[in-house]
Structure 1
Amino acid sequence: MKILMVVTSHDKLGDTGEKTGFWLEELAAPYYVFHDAGVTVTIASPRGGMPPVDPKSNLPENETESTMRFKDDQAAQDDLAHSRRLREVSVNDFDAIFYPGGHGPLWDLALDTDSIALIEAFVRADKPVGAVCHAPAVLADVKGPDGDFLVRGRHVTGFTNAEEEAVGLTDVVPFLLEDRLKERGATFRGGGDWAPHVEVDGKLVTGQNPASSAPAAEALLKLLKPS
């Protein structure tokens, strides 16, 4: 079993002068859900090489067992440091695809033509697609086999407007994820702020926030390994 994890290459938080990137927990927790289940994980990013980690996700108050394990895992660090260029990966080499969040994807992966084409290829191949927190933004411009937006009429979740307001970035992000998905016709369902919440609609899995990272990965894995 092989799963592709795709993270952002974008490191600028709008015009704030601050850094962003991917959220470490949202990579680390799913990475070990997959790894510990015997799945081979490959990490990719638009630019390849070492993707930018959101510095706030590295702060002590945001550390988890998964992030600490990831930091101490040399093989995992090597996987991350040598992420493959997104345009060089093929749907034929993987059984599923999973996108960790962080604010970075709102600026690059949401509009990345290679990413959009890759997700559309996974959908055509009836292979699971997962995304957590801000990463469901990668789905916004993806078209389904019928030519309409993939999320139209589908149950999805992601970082909510309320959560964006709570972190003070409503006026910084290029768009509000909840609004964008609703504009595309999705049935957006959020849980409580910062609480784990996952939506599964067919082979599409979305998680709301960092706490949803492992549960979303487990839901994706269940689609690959039904009990």
Structure 2
Amino acid sequence: MLPASISFGEVVHAWDTFKAAGYVVDFVSPDGGDVPILDEYVSEDVASRIEDEEVMRGLRNTAKPEQIDPARYRAVYYVGGSNAIYGVPEHSVLQSIAMHVYERNGGVISAVCHGTAGLVNLKLASGQNLVAGKRISGFPEEHERQDAAYFKEFPFLIRKTVEDRGGVFHALDSEDPYIEIDGRVVTGQNYASAKPVAEAVVDVLRRLTGQQSGRGAVKG
């Protein structure tokens, strides 16, 4: 088994955007506690933030899904990194949290890069897949290093699975930011899309509520 990690920059860029908008950000992971952060997933633009006590306290002490009261949240943000494709998509409690926020709270579901893996198994109360009929972005398998050991360990492919679930997948052949906004579902293609995704989540929430403060959740 190969080591996996969250994408630290995708946390930081979203964190800064949500905090600047007046939102409280909480962290949750499949097992709670310390989430893995490998050096290769800490880009130069955010390396200094490893010393940010507030961010690191959240990442070193993530809540267990069972500790989360979904009634308190208006948004879910699935962080990318290779860690996102393991343990998150099939976690029934994380799924329940997300769908409570989306259906009962009228909130937003969002994801960036490999974080889109967290959306593929989400189902509405009707039994329909959340992504069905929706424009979705994320990190497509054609952009992966397909001869690399990590790729051979992936349990599923993001584009293929989104499309199998009825979603309409969009991605650019580029490292430029790219996001899709389809109602209350916001997704981004790559690392560069983390801040635009977070900004779009804030915009959607403001349109929905007319308020500039609330609570949001980050999922690692």
1:166, CA displacement in angstroms? 6.5
The residue number in structure 2 matching 1:207 is: 188
Q: Distance in 1 between matches of 2:51 and 2:39?
A: 17
The residue number in structure 2 matching 1:181 is: 162
Secondary structure of 1:42's aligned partner: strand
Measured against aligned partners, the alpha-carbon deviations of 1:67-107 in whole angstroms (never above 9, x if no partner) come to 23532321221122111111210221112111111111211
Secondary structure of 2:13's aligned partner: helix
- Count of aligned pairs between the two proteins: 206
Secondary structure of 2:153's aligned partner: coil
Please provide the CA RMSD for this pair. 1.7
Select which of 30, 55, 71 maps to 1:46: 30
Are 2:181 and 2:187, in contact at CA under 8 Å, matched by a contact in 1? yes
Say which structure is richer in helix.
2
Select which of 84, 87, 104 maps to 1:108: 87
Structure scoring higher RCO (CA < 8 A, sep ≥ 6) equals 2
Q: Distance in 2 between matches of 1:144 and 1:55?
A: 37
1:157, CA displacement in angstroms? 0.6
The alignment status of 1:192 with 2:173, answered yes or no, reads yes
User: 1:19 corresponds to which letter in structure 2?
Assistant: P
Measured against aligned partners, the alpha-carbon deviations of 1:26-55 in whole angstroms (never above 9, x if no partner) come to 111101111122211111111111111133
The alignment status of 1:138 with 2:118, answered yes or no, reads yes
Q: Distance in 2 between matches of 1:143 and 1:186?
A: 12
The alignment status of 1:81 with 2:60, answered yes or no, reads yes
Select which of 9, 31, 36 maps to 2:20: 36
Aligned runs of 1:156-175 on 2, under 5 Å?
A: 156-165=136-145, 168=148, 169-175=150-156
The percentage of counterpart residues that share the same residue type is 26
1:199, CA displacement in angstroms? 0.5
TM-score, normalised relative to structure 1 = 0.85
Q: Distance in 2 between matches of 1:56 and 1:41?
A: 25
Secondary structure of 1:84's aligned partner: coil
Q: Flag structure 1 segments of 5+ consecutive residues without an equivalent.
A: 1-14
The residue number in structure 2 matching 1:93 is: 72
Q: Give 4+ residue runs of structure 1 displaced > 6 Å after superposition.
A: none
Secondary structure of 2:144's aligned partner: helix
TM-score, normalised relative to structure 2 = 0.87
The alignment status of 1:23 with 2:7, answered yes or no, reads yes
Q: Distance in 2 between matches of 1:209 and 1:167?
A: 20
Q: Flag structure 2 segments of 5+ consecutive residues without an equivalent.
A: 211-220
Counterparts in 2 of 1:167 and 1:45: CA distance versus 1, 3 Å: farther
Are 2:71 and 2:100, in contact at CA under 8 Å, matched by a contact in 1? no
1:167, CA displacement in angstroms? 8.1
